[in-house]
Structure formats: structure tokens, C-alpha cells
Amino acid sequence: MGSSECHVAVLAFPFGTHAAPLLSLVEKLSAAFPSARFSFFSNHDSNSTLFGDRNPGAGKIKAYDVGDGTVAGEASVIHEEFIMAMPGNYQTAIAEAEAEMGTKFGCFLTDAFLWFGGDLAAERGGVPWIALWTAGACSVSAHLYTDFVRSLVGANPNGNGLEQKLKVIPGMSEVSIGEMPGEILAKDLQASFPGMIYNMALKLPGANAVVLNSFQKLDPTITDDLRSKLQKVFNIGPMILRPPGTPKPPISDDHNCIPWLDSLPPASPAVYLSFGSALTPPPDEIVGLAEALEAKRAPFLWSLKPHGVKHLPKGFLERTKEFGKIVSWAPQVQVLSHPRVGAFVTHCGWNSILEAISFGVCMICRPFYGDQQINTRFVESVWEIGVKVEGGIFTKDETMKVLSVVLDSDRGKLLKENVVKLKGEALEAVKPNGSSTKDFQELVRLLNDSF
């Protein structure tokens, strides 16, 4: 093997929305560090979706397929077979790439889920391991406190402790044990997915840096605590926001969402509903949502897959066609940045939260799994930029209540003021002298110094 000059191994977790932010980071790094090459390792479905006919980084980013036991066409579904095959499946692909190039990798940039990144770096003489956490500071902090949280649950074996607030964890005083990510409270921490996350929590302190798609002023107390536990923490987000003067990417809007929003009267704020690429509410909740939207008669744009549309009440589409639009996919960034949008009904995935903050839109939250519960608590009780549906389930009455809170009440005005303030701080963070820009420059410096 020859030198490792300026060649970075990028290891993606190929499910859900994990790989796309990592590729976005790599493209940004490639532009800032033009002498570097990046080899991007993910499974076939993920690479096909991300790369297609694109040539990211002007050819300096090359995709390599990682073998797995997944089924073609199910890239959004997490398969135990893939997790059980780690890290061997990545090691095989990495060895093939190194043999092809005749050089060893000089740095490993991985999704934080891939806890073995440090081991792979150590095998190559202790080159740097940089981990990207694709969610928020609150959830990665929660995972680092897994053993402590589980000890609190163990002290209340009857389950009475789940309502206990985690006041002793910095920045978590509003969060209850029951709102922690589900993997923390899993019965078996050795099961495939909880085991992967637990291993990550144990290994992350060994990473040379942990990168967050967030900004310093969003969670300063938690970020300071993370910096006491991890070697380096870089907040480089919101990655969706581009510095002034940066050309906007082309919009794909096959369903004419933006012209439809343009046509709405300014006095009637629209409700945008979307639950990410992998989630559809249960049939009874789709009915509850639909009944509330019809009764409220506020303009609405609803991104709902065909298998969800079939559960809408009979005649709903016809009765609401004057003020509602349902599409199978919407350009979410452009929708949330549209001045007509006044509320975002969401599952509270991290990307959706950051996008809502970046464009100053209040949220109505219905979390399902993973980090969505803790994200929701921060939206409602820490940042105060949205509300959770009472009981965590969409019914007609509860949905009507939260729509009225956000769109028509004094509390809704306060929520709007708070989210607009956070929007301003996010915009400041990505300016040339902003905190996220400086953290990104530090990340580039770390990468540059490793070669």
C-alpha cells in the first residue's frame, strides 16, 4: 500500500434519511478541500438514489456499493440483516477500494451510527475518525446518558418512573424518561438496532470530532455538555441554509405546489402536512386529520402517499378542492420557505424541524418513534415554537384545537415570535463570521491536518 494522501473513506448508513445529509456534507467538504478525494460507501439502493446520473464533487466523490442482505427497492427500511453484517460488509468494500487505488484511506468520515469507524481508523495507523450525527444535540446527548437513564428506570421497576423529569442532565430539565429515544429503554441492548446505537454511545468519545447539523444557539447548554464528553463538537448547520449569494438549487415541483401556494390570499395562512419519506399516519388518524381540516377550512397542502389517500373520508377531496391540495410528494424546503405557509404538521424528524426553524414556521407535532418524542418536547417546552397534539394521536377535536392554537391564538403569536427569533439566529450562524461557518472551517482544518 502507498500513501494515504487526501483520500477520505465516507461510510453512510443507507436507511431512512441518513445518507443524504452525509453526502451533502461531503460535497461541501469537497468544495472547501479541492485536493481531497472521497469514496462514498453505502448499499446499492442508497447509492442509486443519491447519485443517479449525478457527478458530485466534479468526479472527486466516487460511490462504492456495500454488500448487504436487503431487498432491492426497500432502501428506506432498516434491515436487521444489514446491521448484523456490520462491520464486515464495509470492511470488504473498503479493502476492494484500497486495492483498486493502491492507497490506504487517510481519514474515516462516517454516520455516527457506524460505531466501528474508530476501529477502522485505528487499523490504518490511527488516522482520524469523524462522525456525523444526523439528528439534534438533544438526542445524541440522550444516548450518551443511556446507562444513567436505564439506572433510573431500574430503580422504578413498576414503570412509575417514566414521567420523571431528567433535571440532572444538562439541558434536559423539561424531558421525561418516557420521552427518551426508544432504543435507550429497549429491553435488550444487545438486539441489533438498540445494540448498534448503544455501541455508538460507548465509542463516540473516541472520535476525533462529532459533527452536528445544528447551530450553537439552539442548544447551548447541551452543546457545552457534549463538549465536555467528546473530543470535538462541530455545529455546522442548518445545512439547508446557504450563505448569501449562493445560487439556489433547481426546484422539482411536478405537482405545482408553489404556484398553488402563490394563488392563496395573503390573509389566510396555509397548513402544510408531511410526515417524511417513510411514515404515514394510521388510517383512523388520517380520518381525524381530514375531518379537522375540512371543518377548519384553512388552506392546506398535504403530502400524502397513495396508500394513505385511500383512507380519506368519502367525498373529502371533492368537498375541499377549493381550499385544499393533496400531493404524493412536495418540495418541502420551498414549501416551508413560502410566505403563505403558517403551520407545519409534522412527525418531528430532525431535518423537518431544522427546515421549519430555518424558515420561521410553527409546528404541530405528532411523534412516532426514534428521536421524534424528545424533539417534540424541545419544540413545545424548550424552544416554544410549536405544540404537540394532545394524547399524541390525531383526532378531529384535538387537531382542531392545535390548529386554532397555532393559527388563531395569542399563544400562536408567541410561538411565531419565538420561531422567527430562532430563524434569525440560524441565519446568523451560517454567515461568513457565524458560529456554524467557523465550526465548518475548523472541520476542514482538522481534515487538512490529517494528511
Are residues 332 and 352 in contact, defined by beta-carbon separation less than 8 angstroms?
Answer: yes
Q: What is the 3-state secondary structure (H, E, C) of 193-233?
A: HHHHHHHHHHHHHHCCEEEECCCHHHCHHHHHHHHHHCCCE
- Active-site entry in 18, 79, 143, 338: 18
Locus of grid cell 422504578: 156
Are residues 309 and 273 in contact, defined by beta-carbon separation less than 8 angstroms?
Answer: no
Catalytic residue flag (residue 111): yes
Locus of grid cell 424558515: 359
Q: Is 93 helix (H, G, I), strand (E, B) or coil?
A: helix
Catalytic residue flag (residue 18): yes
Q: Which residues pair with 404 in a beta bridge?
A: none
Locus of grid cell 390573509: 267
- What span, in angstroms and rounded, lies between the C-alpha atoms of 424 and 429? 9
- Active-site entry in 7, 45, 68, 111: 111
Locus of grid cell 407535532: 365
Neighbours of 278 (CB within 10 A): 16
Which residues are CB-contacts of 23 (< 8 A; sequence separation ≥ 6)?
10, 12, 40, 50, 56, 61
Are residues 215 and 131 in contact, defined by beta-carbon separation less than 8 angstroms?
Answer: no
Q: What one-letter code names the amino acid at 256?
A: N
Cα–Cα distances in angstroms (integers) from residue 395 to residues 39, 287, 293, 353, in the given order? 47, 8, 11, 23
Are residues 105 and 39 in contact, defined by beta-carbon separation less than 8 angstroms?
Answer: yes
Neighbours of 164 (CB within 10 A): 16
In terms of C-beta density within 10 A (0-12 exposed, 13-18 middle, 19 or more buried), how is residue 354 classed? buried
Query: Percentage helix, strand, coil, to 5, in the chain?
Result: 45, 15, 40
Q: What one-letter code names the amino acid at 152?
A: L
Which H or E run contains 21? helix 19-32
Residues with catalytic function: 18, 111
